[in-house]
Structure 1
Amino acid sequence: MRRRPGIGGLQTAAAAKDQYRKLGENVAKLKMDLMKEQLATFRSQLEDFARKHKNDIRKNPAFRSQFHEMCAKVGVDPLASNKGFWAELLGIGDFYYELGVQIVDICLATRPHNGGLINLEELCRLLNQRRKSAREAVTEDDCLRAISKLKVLGNGFEVISVGKRKLVRSVPTELNKDHNEILELAQVLLFLIFLRTALLNPTSFSLLCSSTSDVDAYACSEQHFAKFWWIIIGRVKFAPPFERKNWNFMAHGFVTVEEVARRLSWSSGRATDALETLLDEGLAMIDDGHRDGKRRYWFPCVSSIASFVGNETV
């Protein structure tokens, strides 16, 4: 007959369990203390690094972005306080607050033209144009960090994603799924218009190709499109700014009610309602001057604002 465990056995098992628990707590405490020590060491080295490379952090956008990544790994936020150690050491808090003020100025200046919705890439370009000096150049990452600090002003400033683009919203307008799909469609149509213009307009396309002979050889017929579409994309991506400013055929993106209904498989009523809402919010412009009688809805926020507002405005 098998004997059941008695009181002594139960007490022994409980004591062993308690010892294992204490041992586990001690091991966890040792690991925690070691981790804290390593973080303190890394933090100290990070401070020494910041002192040594102070000028590079303030003036080099790429260097500044990498510095923020290092800070995030050890739980340091240089922007948490404008009066803390990092602000006094680097002045980096003042940098982003100043950048935030400039972002507000540009958003207000362009609002009559884009309804308070501006492409992040375009915003960054206008900021660098205003700052002029290459030593004061900022990146999209800098803009995002500065905008995050504008949340103290309420819901007026927010970054939203439409397709692969990021747009900065400076008005408390809510965009639903239909509105986002229309803006994304306008971006796609904008690129298609650009490609077709490149095919049918050799003069404009010559800005993208290394020689006019390439244009004459291929732009005569759309059947050659597959042979040189990669030239278009490569030239767009890597072309210097002085070339890009001449690409007038890339200035706008638009849709029509019929285009939206066909490409998104919507009813015409749904397309009209969404487009008219965007128009009422000031995010779209209309053009009724076409022979086909179809109204065009243009969206400045998916293209360069430079074609709508002069440089002196911003």
Structure 2
Amino acid sequence: MQPRRRYRGHATINEERHRAAQFATAASGYVEEREAALREQCVVFQGKLQAFAREHRREIESDGALRTRFLELCMNLGVEPFLSRRSVWSQLLGLSEWYARLGFLVAQIALATRDWNGGVIRLTVLRRALQRRLDVDCGTQEPSEKRARIVSNDDIARAVRTLERLRAGFRIISIDEGKKECCLVSGAAGEISFTEDEKAVLQRARATGGSICRQDLPWENIRWGRSIERLLQLGILWVDDGASDGQRRYWALGLIPESIEDQNPVSESGPSDRYEGRPITSVASKLP
């Protein structure tokens, strides 16, 4: 004989509903209290950040690593120090105006050199060019209290983000798996996505002093030709048929070694006459 099923009465059901409502009210109150406490802590923390910014403004301006950590703390609190020029953070640090200025210089240098590097320039080269421009604006090229803020790669990345609203195709990419070598790309190159094969070509060119030939990558002809042709169309690679070994080489002028770039610094007036208006053969003959 099966046991009879016991049914709950209305009183039991009402009691359970009442208990559940009490739990929900208590939980809601706890959450509200926690949110209020967190908001209060955030306000206190923001006040401490502002005090820190006032006390250490010079260090934040001159030390790129400290500036990056400080901005990360601000982001975690939902504070964007350079979002508005009218914000208290902008008044404390002047970051909004400075990043806008930096973004303008990034665009200026990228556009001035695009004809010969195809819109690809190493971040290390771009950073040095920016630092020279900022130092010149401050009237000195020697380390001093009056020297411009030291530009970091993180500063460049933030400045590039200020250019996104222009939709001019400025972005930063990594050409190796370790992300140790980054480049700014702009123009047509900035509006497309590089394939893994195209990144491999650029990575190999960087590793071999800025140039690459067919023997450097043991690929099938179709795979090699497809990648090279697209990079040539974008103007990132230049053809050199006058190499001493008789092989056709492809030069990525935006990836040549830093030591060679130092001999031909990027200027605001545009690319040096070392490249401008000359065939790539004459360029290659001057490189080691």
Alignment RMSD (CA, Å)? 2.0
Q: Which of the residues 167, 173, 176 maps onto 1:160?
A: 173
SS in 1 for 2:163: helix
Measure the CA separation in 1 of the matches of 2:222 and 2:54.
61
Are 1:258 and 1:268, in contact at CA under 8 Å, matched by a contact in 2? no
2:54 is matched with 51
Shift of 1:156: 2.1
- C-alpha distance after superposition, 1:195-237 (max 9, x if no partner): xxxxxxxxxxxxxxxxxxxxxxxxxxxxxxxxxxxxxxxxxxx
2:156 is matched with 143
Further displaced range: 129-138 or 25-34: 129-138
Report the structure, 1 or 2, having the larger helix content: 1
Measure the CA separation in 2 of the matches of 1:313 and 1:45.
41
Measure the CA separation in 1 of the matches of 2:164 and 2:69.
24
Q: Which of the residues 164, 174, 178 maps onto 2:197?
A: 178
**Shift in CA distance, 312/7, structure 1 to aligned 2, threshold 3 Å:** closer
Q: Count how many residue pairs are aligned between Structure 1 and Structure 2.
A: 248
Q: Which of the residues 122, 130, 133 maps onto 2:125?
A: 122
1:74 is matched with 77
Shift of 1:75: 1.2
1:257 is matched with 214
Taking every aligned residue pair, what percent have the same amino acid on both sides?
Answer: 31
Measure the CA separation in 2 of the matches of 1:97 and 1:3.
74
Are 1:186 and 1:253, in contact at CA under 8 Å, matched by a contact in 2? yes
SS in 1 for 2:206: helix
Measure the CA separation in 2 of the matches of 1:307 and 1:279.
22
Shift of 1:269: 2.3
Shift of 1:140: 0.8
TM-score (norm 2): 0.79
Structure 2 residue runs of 5 or longer lacking an equivalent are 136-140, 269-288
Q: How does 1:168-207 map to 2 (within 5 A)?
A: 168-173=184-189, 174=192, 175-188=194-207, 190=208
Measure the CA separation in 1 of the matches of 2:243 and 2:126.
31
SS in 1 for 2:6: coil
Are 2:120 and 2:254, in contact at CA under 8 Å, matched by a contact in 1? yes
Measure the CA separation in 2 of the matches of 1:131 and 1:8.
79
Measure the CA separation in 1 of the matches of 2:36 and 2:184.
43
Q: Which of the residues 75, 84, 103 maps onto 2:87?
A: 84
Measure the CA separation in 2 of the matches of 1:307 and 1:187.
13
**Shift in CA distance, 114/141, structure 1 to aligned 2, threshold 3 Å:** same
1:6 is matched with 9
Measure the CA separation in 1 of the matches of 2:116 and 2:30.
63
2:281 is matched with none
Shift of 1:119: 1.0
Measure the CA separation in 2 of the matches of 1:45 and 1:253.
48
Q: Which of the residues 101, 121, 132 maps onto 1:98?
A: 101
Q: How does 1:274-285 map to 2 (within 5 A)?
A: 274-285=227-238
Structure 1 residue runs of 5 or longer lacking an equivalent are 191-251
Shift of 1:304: 4.0
SS in 2 for 1:293: coil
Are 1:256 and 1:295, in contact at CA under 8 Å, matched by a contact in 2? yes
Measure the CA separation in 2 of the matches of 1:24 and 1:72.
30
**Shift in CA distance, 82/304, structure 1 to aligned 2, threshold 3 Å:** farther
Q: Which of the residues 17, 27, 45 maps onto 2:20?
A: 17
Shift of 1:312: 6.7
- C-alpha distance after superposition, 1:63-120 (max 9, x if no partner): 2222112212211111211222211222111111111111112112221221111111
Measure the CA separation in 2 of the matches of 1:83 and 1:170.
30
Further displaced range: 126-135 or 112-121: 126-135
**Shift in CA distance, 185/22, structure 1 to aligned 2, threshold 3 Å:** same
